[in-house]
Amino acid sequence: MAPNTRQLQLTSTAASAVHGDLEDVRLLDSYEKNDVDDGTKRVQVRISGMTCAACSNSVEAALKSVDGVIGASVALLQNKADVVFNRSLVKDEDIKNAIEDAGFEAEILPEPGSLGNGTTLVVGQFTIGGMTCAACVNSVEGILRNLSGVKRAVVALATSLGEVEYDPNVISKDDIVSAIEDAGFDASFVQSSGQDKIVLGVVGVCGLVDAQVLEGMLSGMKGVRQFRFDPLLSELDLVFDPQVISSRSLVDAIQLGGNGEFKVHVRNPYARMASKDVSETSTMFRLFISSLFLSIPLFFMGVVCPHIPLIYSLLLWRCGPFLMGDWLKWALVSLIQFVIGKRFYIAAGRALRNGSTNMDVLVALGTTASYVYSVCALLYGALTGFWSPIYFETSAMLITFVLLGKYLECLAKGKTSDAIKKLVELAPATALLVVKDKGGRSIEEREIDSLLIQPGDTLKVLPGTKIPADGIVSWGSSYVNESMVTGESIPVLKEVNASVIGGTINLHGVLHIQATKIGSDTVLSQIISLVETAQMSKAPIQKFADYVASIFVPTVVTLSLLTLLCWYIAGALGAYPEEWLPENGNHFVFALMFSISVVVIACPCALGLATPTAVMVATGVGANNGVLIKGGDALERAQMVKYVVFDKTGTLTQARATVTTAKVFTGMDRGEFLTLVASAEASSEHPLAKAILQYARHFHFFDESSPTSDAQNDAKKFMSGWLYDVSDFSALPGRGVQCFIDGKRILVGNRKLLAESGINISTEVENFVVELEESAKTGILVAYDDVLTGVLGVSDPLKREASVVIEGLQKMGVVPIMVTGDNWRTARAVAKEVGIQDVRAEVMPAGKAEVVRSFQKDGSIVAMVGDGINDSPALAAADVGMAIGAGTDIAIEAADYVLMRDNLEDVITAIDLSRRTFSRIRLNYVFAMAYNIVAIPVAAGVLYPSLGIKLPPWVAGACMALSSVTVVCSSLLLRRYRKPRLTTILEIIVN
């Protein structure tokens, strides 16, 4: 019988079965692994069932107990866990099982946007023909193991099969086949262990026949490992081998194979996660409405119906042992308690099985106590004729208010992740692919899903549309609005060879771009990942809340029991008048109501939400202002910053060094002098070297004194048109460069370089260099054939906002410091210009970290602002590292903050936002702590003897539900944050 569409599960494909005999031969499994891979892996897990901080603590403890887990952070708000583990000891399934063993549901999340090269190492199987003996095997193995990117290789003579473990980012399967064939053997690729997953939305599967067609198509498709079709969601989960088939080829094959009946599109991972959040909110709303609908009749029966004689007489009609009204109340509350409120019992049971307690335990205890008492009171009255008051309404109203609170909480939490939603919306849904022939001519344009873009694709971007992927402009010219990513409002001119960022908007002209980064490698995806990771991180201050939450519920239960005993014993001893008792009530009932109120009103959720909600909002606000924050711990440290250490070049200055002076101190021609210096610096990547090269090129080609055409045609002297041939080039960090031209040594650098080389610096040269340095210029000395030949003066202009930002930091109570590898005179001149008092000059790159540590010795919090590779040690050593967004990837990786706009004003924004955030967190803790400190004694009846104030359980439930919402709404006020204006900080009055 044909399978039902609902029964289609992860199925091995026929393509795999064809090579089943090869799959059984696991050569590398028996190969002696001398090189053990002890790398780490990070996964994110979606967790269902967590309700408060106690739940997240339980999950975190369960994860950390797994052998091989290095770190685990659980985010209650996002219902996610971020887990780092040793991939040689732990598998994804182990993580999932640990969470499920703790009583919660878990789902390993795929890497967002990752559609290719998701695996670091893959094992490829190759057939190898032409081998006749062991010598052939050794030869092939030796060739394979020597290939760059190949980690291990083993070849079996009997099966003519080879298995190679390799990095697909370094070497491709075709390169391996070519290497084997170059050795004189035949080779072909069979399959690889590399696999990727993609989720497709399929339109057109209307019944069982369509499902069978789809299954047959996928089963015969080479490279497809597993698949599962969900007919309810019209979603197709595919696991495939990216070495055999690409995601775009998969989509095309499905659409073509269905004769046009199937329409396929890729489901965005972030959109799917967002839909689950929306689903949770809608589920909570449905439960709340259902509970409210059933609670309204209870309210009418107790308040309105007694004033309507006809209806009230019906409620007082005795039906069996109970009144009709009691039957109705019992039936309605039972539905609320055990059908709508079932989730509280399930969650409480999970928590208790795991040895922990949470808010669900409190709700289950309070409602069950009220419900069981009311049922017992009815049965006791039926048996004895003594009718005690019943409190069915308490259970119903409590569950209704708790569900209302959870619904409002879901809405509020949804708003805290608006930054990620906005970033996801930046990614365009489709792209215009330019198809070219073998000659490189455009022959077709077709629209594809942007998630199916592959590296190397040529994409056409029309005016007014979003750029679909990171890439390089290959044709055209236009201005691009990058404000949605960088925060910079001024459009940027993009011409051929300029880089573009996916998600930014092309304003005017048509562009052709060549895609370079896709999926999780794109700037937009990295920003989304960074913001999401930061929102999941825990600030150190949250440890206090986690500890309180872990002991909160047991403490509340104990207080509830003490309240019950105290009031009951006091009543038995006659410590309060009988008039206080409810009608037909007794001392136990009177005491029980206070006890239930204590259980109900105490809520650990507000404590658990105080920090993460504020951190989530702050990271979103920061991203919208061009400041990316890597975690709550960074926020906490930044708000206490005392010192900010600035790198000079590229941070305080524009890193656009220009040569302003060139003076020759020997009889050498000026053009000859500049050619020598440019030839020496041509191999250097230093910004000063590029400035010198540009100056020399401009001199030769635009100055009347440039070398003659005869000189340029002198093959002995000139290379690449006009530069000399250089040999034995070496860069000397902190000093300059050294090389040989025509066998003569040339040195270009500072005094230290010349002094170490034994070259004398005359008084005239020294005075000239001092004069340059005192005017904030760098003097570069040039020696040729061990004779000091000339000096170049180089200026790097300051950023226009540098001096104002420094003054603004000083107004905020932060001490700015400048560190540079430049000489003291130049450093002091620059520092004086921007207003920095403390300068550390002539510091080698590694010494910048030591400067940072020197300010940390007294326990002060130190921030470092830098942009280059040489700043990364200092950024890592600082308590708060701030990388300029235009800087290097290494610097950005080492930093805690990324300033996307390359604007120093964002240093002030980062510190000010951190201060505002932690001011809000402290206020949240005041709300949460004060609420429980005040509310619990009131619920326990402390004020009842003197003021007659008591909180019925249903009122306590309303207060409990709204407490966490108060904290979340307090955090949401951070969304109104506006970065400080420098005119306000500096107290400048603008007329």
Phi first, then psi, for residue 508 (nearest 5°) are -120, -75
Residues near 895 by beta carbon (within 8 Å), at least 6 away in sequence: 630, 875, 881, 882, 883
Tokens 């070219």 sit on residue: 436
Alpha carbons 262 and 901: distance in angstroms, whole number: 44
Q: Which of 276, 545, 284 is nearest to 402 (CA)?
A: 284
In 18-120, the DSSP E strands lie at: 40-48, 69-75, 80-86, 105-108
Q: Give the whole-angstrom CA distance, residue 29 versus residue 123.
A: 11
For residue 235, the cross-strand partners are 201, 230
Strand order in the sheet with 815-819: 627-629, 897-899, 880-884, 861-866, 641-647, 815-819, 838-840
DSSP string, 697-763: HHHHHHSTTSPPHHHHT-TTT-BTTTBPP-EEEEEETTTEEEEEETTEEEEEE-HHHHHHTT----H
Pairing state between β 787-795 and 322-323: unpaired
Q: What is d(CA 362, CA 375) in angstroms, rounded to the nearest whole number?
A: 20
**Closest to 935 measured CA to CA, from 914, 915, 913, 958:** 958
Residue 628: phi and psi, rounded to 5, are -95, 125
Cα angle for residues 534, 537, 543 (degrees, 5° grid): 150
Structure token pair of residue 291: 């509970």
Residues in contact with 428: Cβ distance below 8 Å, sequence separation at least 6, in sequence order: 450, 465, 466, 467, 468, 502, 503
CA 140 to chain centre: 44
Residue keyed to tokens 């990388």: 883
Q: How far apart are CA 331 and CA 337, in angstroms?
A: 10
Cα distance between residue 811 and residue 41, in whole Å: 44
Question: Count of CB atoms within 10 A of residue 477's CB?
Answer: 14
CA distance 562 to 568: 10
Residue 801, C-beta contacts closer than 8 angstroms, at least 6 positions apart: 903, 904, 905, 982
What's the CA gap between 296 and 332, in Å, rounded?
Answer: 10
Distances (CA, A) of 164 to 32, 36, 170, 177: 14, 15, 13, 11
Alpha carbon 934 to its chain's center: 38
Pairing of strands 470-476, 235-240: unpaired
How many angstroms separate the CA atoms of 187 and 195, rounded? 22
Q: Tokens 């370079």 — which residue? A: 516
| Closest listed residue to residue 622, CA positions, set 985, 981, 916, 277 | 916
Question: Which among 449, 470, 647, 902 is annotated as catalytic?
Answer: 647
**Catalytic (active site) residue 449:** no
The answer to whether residues 504 and 481 touch, using CB atoms and an 8 Å cutoff, is yes
| Secondary structure in 3-state letters for 245-286 | CCHHHHHHHHHHHCCCCCEEEECCHHHHHHHHHHHHHHHHHH
Angle 724-725-730 from CA coordinates, rounded to 5°: 110
Nearest of 260, 378, 249, 236 to residue 321 by alpha carbon = 378
The residues, any chain, with a CB within 8 Å of residue 537's CB and separated by 6 or more, are 73, 82, 615, 630, 631, 632, 633
Active site residues: 647
